[in-house]
Structure 1
Amino acid sequence: MLSAFTLGLFALVASSEVSASPKPVPITLQSRKTPRGQSSGLRRRALSAISVPLDDFFLGTDLQWFGNISVGTPPQDVSVVFDTGSSSLEFVSTECTSCVQTPKFDPAKSSTFVRGSRTTTLDFSTGVGVDPVVNDDYVLTVRSGTDTVTVGGVPAKNVSLFTIIDQTPAFNVDPFLGIQGMGSRAQGFFAALVKAGLPSLFSLFLTPNAVGNADLLVGGIDNTKFKGNLTFADQIGSGDWEVESTQITVNGKTTSVLKQRRSIIFDSGTSNILFSTSTTNAMYALISSDIKPFKAEPGAYGLPCAKIGSLPAVIDLTFESQQGTPFNLTIPSSELNVGPFKSDPSTCQTLINAFDGLDLVGGSVLKHYYSVWDVGNQRMGFAPNGESQSSMTGASVI
């Protein structure tokens, strides 16, 4: 989920931490290597990579992947989306009478919880599901605090967090308690684990619901879960995870609009794809003239459900590796249909939403790739998801 904070719409600071260009090639690159001068340091690491199993929130389409952390002393399990589109930790507390999720975190049962004096609202520009955010329907009221946060049995003390004390009804469908931001700067529990000896990176294995076994690996890379080698690209965002794209093609074709360079945010907490209106219209024009804006939900598009299954819609997002080689991240046709609109079940919503001023991709891309979010080296790595669904073996670090 991309909060308004990450878009700079309000200040919230957590105190813790067909183209003439070269033809893109499939994702293949050199083998992963330890950065020069770091091998001896890595051998001294005191902690092993921490694996967190992730559940898939599925409602006709994959919406969110979430897993457990523990908060407090003694620890209370708190289910969270590990969200690369935000930076703070917030979750439902017993103070929230509008929150329907259970079991709520009870601050009174934690001897290490320190209540803060600040309350604020967090409004989100992308929500939990596939529908566009309309009329500020995703807003949390939160109170600051600190507590011990434990991940994989490793505690981090005095982590800044926010307890949710009120929420808008749009959040009620969530099967999880909150959001753990995993922005491009190490903060919170992640910063504490890095300080304790973990490499400053994490990996996401987000899979379709039918596949399962998704997980987050903090401080490592599981080479059993992807095919070939990782391709790395520079991360250029200041807080957001952002990579520059050289062009977009749809069904092998492009236009002058789609050949423009743009920075694309990668947000693990967002289900759909968001692009400016001009880019969205250009993409849909290469798919079908039947795709139209859905007036009841500004920013959304759709077409009769009877037509959507036969449409080819292979979308290639082209980037450059750190070696200057173009590569594609491909979204297959199967992702185009995200289900019927509630207000008009005969019309099916299509994947890309219009949002001027923002280019962003989420789970519809990430569930087809193993992704490495390298905070220390400010880069992102991608490789196609592998067929192996084994538990973590052969994990390695960059």
Structure 2
Amino acid sequence: MRWIGFLSLVALSECLVTVPLTKIKSMRESLRERDLLRDHLRQYAHSQANKPLRQPRVTVQPLRNYLDMYYVGTISIGTPPQKFKVIFDTGSADLWVPSIYCSSPACVTHKTFKPLRSSTFQDTNRPIRLLYGSGSMTGLLGYDDVRIRNLVCKSQAFGLSTTESGIALEFAAFDGILGLAYPTIALNDTTPVFDSLWKQGLVPENLFAFYLSSNKRNSSVVMFGGVDHSYYRGELQWVPVSEQEFWQVTVDSISMNGTVVACPDGCQAVVDTGTSLVIGPLSPVLNILKNINAYNTSTGEYVVSCDDVQSLPDIVFTINNVTYPVPASAYIRREQTDICFSNLDMDTSGRSRPWVLGDVFLRLYFTVFDRANNRIGLAPVVA
């Protein structure tokens, strides 16, 4: 077959007819002859100057669901990049990861940042301390480049832990935490990651959004700089932020079967991607547990009969005159064949704290955190 192709090419070449070519004047030469070149070049330059710049694209960061307890994504810090698994947490505002200076058990079992291996690291020797509901860290403040997918945030402030306390941190499936709350609760004189992304012109819109799925694979996402409408149904319902520290909103009431069971005169709630449960004050939560016939176990947890779950009513949060039902399939979890645990937790501190709408709520509602307008958008997720 090769030879046939070769012979055909030779035969064809013997039949070719040579045609003389005439040089065609270029557009530039033609315009110059007509004394129009200068005006044309000016017009072209003006059109280019007024052409809109290419806008940054929405960045989608996959998150992995760990046992419905938390959602973890990968970032990197330094040059060359050092990778870490972090919780993208709207309930805090600081970024920190373990460091080689830490000898706590939690640091031994996780990746640690190595400052000397990064050519862009800047040390401050400033001590820091951060407290969380499930543990705490102390460490030092540093600056380095932080990467989230295609975004590179230059000279970002972050903590390098020197101690980490709490069993939850020791056995966690994440290394550190990336806070996405307002800068008012961040470490003094530091800029949180998302604020840096916006100030450095890396995102097209001053907002981010979460889609949290019960799927254990990487179907959950946090998106920076825009909203993907394919993740939710209907229209986003906007709720003003009532206090610009956490992502805090006003709840009109909480009801079951049409009867108000909590927040009869309204209350405050924090929308928190870093909390797995729905948490409320002691008395109102006990009232809800009473309504579903939950009983206390020796471990302090509340359980219901799994046979009753399908008949339990929704817990309905009314927020800015819009109702957000949370069905029993969400606020009850089955961990054994015949025992089902409550996904409601109580704040027993005795202080007047807001409710916390954690992942139990957020798995039902796509959530947009709009810093430009200080509001939260909610819409039912696409199943």
What TM-score do you get using the length of structure 1 for normalisation?
Answer: 0.74
Contact kept? 2:314, 2:327, Cα under 8 Å = yes
CA gap 1:167/1:347 in 2 versus in 1, 3 angstroms: farther
CA gap 1:92/1:385 in 2 versus in 1, 3 angstroms: same
Aligned pair 1:279/2:284, yes or no? yes
Residue 287 of structure 1 deviates from its aligned partner by 1.6
Aligned pair 1:368/2:360, yes or no? no
Contact kept? 1:287, 1:311, Cα under 8 Å = no
- Deviation per CA, 1:280-339, whole angstroms, max 9, x where unpaired? 122222221x433x5644xxx41355566455141111011xxxxx11222111123345
> What residue is the counterpart of 1:118 in the other structure?
126
> What residue is the counterpart of 2:192 in the other structure?
188
- Deviation per CA, 1:334-393, whole angstroms, max 9, x where unpaired? 12334569xxx9865411111142211100000111110001110000111114xxxxxx
Residue 107 of structure 1 deviates from its aligned partner by 1.6
Structure 1 unaligned blocks of 5 or more: 1-42, 128-137, 321-325, 388-398
> What residue is the counterpart of 1:238 in the other structure?
244
Residue 219 of structure 1 deviates from its aligned partner by 0.4
- Deviation per CA, 1:150-192, whole angstroms, max 9, x where unpaired? 2222222221110122212321221111100000349433222
Residue 238 of structure 1 deviates from its aligned partner by 2.3
> What residue is the counterpart of 2:142 in the other structure?
145
> Secondary structure at 2:260's aligned position in 1?
coil
> Secondary structure at 1:269's aligned position in 2?
coil
Contact kept? 2:209, 2:226, Cα under 8 Å = yes
> How many Å separate the matches in 2 of 1:271 and 1:251?
25
Q: How does 1:59-78 map to 2 (within 5 A)?
A: 62-78=68-84
Contact kept? 1:71, 1:149, Cα under 8 Å = yes
> How many Å separate the matches in 1 of 2:80 and 2:243?
37
Aligned pair 1:318/2:327, yes or no? no
> Secondary structure at 2:174's aligned position in 1?
coil
> How many Å separate the matches in 2 of 1:209 and 1:76?
28
> Secondary structure at 2:129's aligned position in 1?
strand
Structure 2 unaligned blocks of 5 or more: 1-51, 185-190
Percent identity for Structure 1 against Structure 2: 25
> How many Å separate the matches in 2 of 1:336 and 1:252?
18
Residue 230 of structure 1 deviates from its aligned partner by 0.7
Select between 265-274 and 104-113 the one with higher mean Cα deviation.
Answer: 104-113
> How many Å separate the matches in 2 of 1:109 and 1:95?
14
Contact kept? 2:65, 2:216, Cα under 8 Å = no
Task: Read off the aligned partner of 1:184 and give its amino acid letter.
Answer: Y
Residue 142 of structure 1 deviates from its aligned partner by 2.1
Contact kept? 2:90, 2:246, Cα under 8 Å = yes
> What residue is the counterpart of 2:170 in the other structure?
172
Select between 113-122 and 224-233 the one with higher mean Cα deviation.
Answer: 113-122
Residue 149 of structure 1 deviates from its aligned partner by 0.9
CA RMSD of aligned residues (A): 2.4
> How many Å separate the matches in 2 of 1:278 and 1:47?
48
Q: How does 1:8-23 map to 2 (within 5 A)?
A: none
> How many Å separate the matches in 2 of 1:211 and 1:154?
23
CA gap 1:44/1:246 in 2 versus in 1, 3 angstroms: farther
Contact kept? 1:201, 1:376, Cα under 8 Å = yes
Residue 104 of structure 1 deviates from its aligned partner by 2.3
Task: Tell me which of the two structures has the higher relative contact order, counting C-alpha pairs closer than 8 angstroms and 6 or more residues apart.
Answer: 1
Task: Read off the aligned partner of 1:196 and give its amino acid letter.
Answer: Q
Contact kept? 1:142, 1:163, Cα under 8 Å = yes
> How many Å separate the matches in 1 of 2:80 and 2:227?
30
> How many Å separate the matches in 2 of 1:200 and 1:45?
17
Aligned pair 1:353/2:348, yes or no? no
- Deviation per CA, 1:184-241, whole angstroms, max 9, x where unpaired? 3494332222123321100111111257511111000001111111111101122100
Contact kept? 2:310, 2:328, Cα under 8 Å = no
Higher gyration radius (CA): 2
> Secondary structure at 2:318's aligned position in 1?
strand
> How many Å separate the matches in 2 of 1:259 and 1:106?
52
> How many Å separate the matches in 2 of 1:189 and 1:45?
23
CA gap 1:386/1:72 in 2 versus in 1, 3 angstroms: same
Task: Read off the aligned partner of 1:164 and give its amino acid letter.
Answer: S
Task: Read off the aligned partner of 1:221 and give its amino acid letter.
Answer: V
Contact kept? 2:75, 2:85, Cα under 8 Å = yes
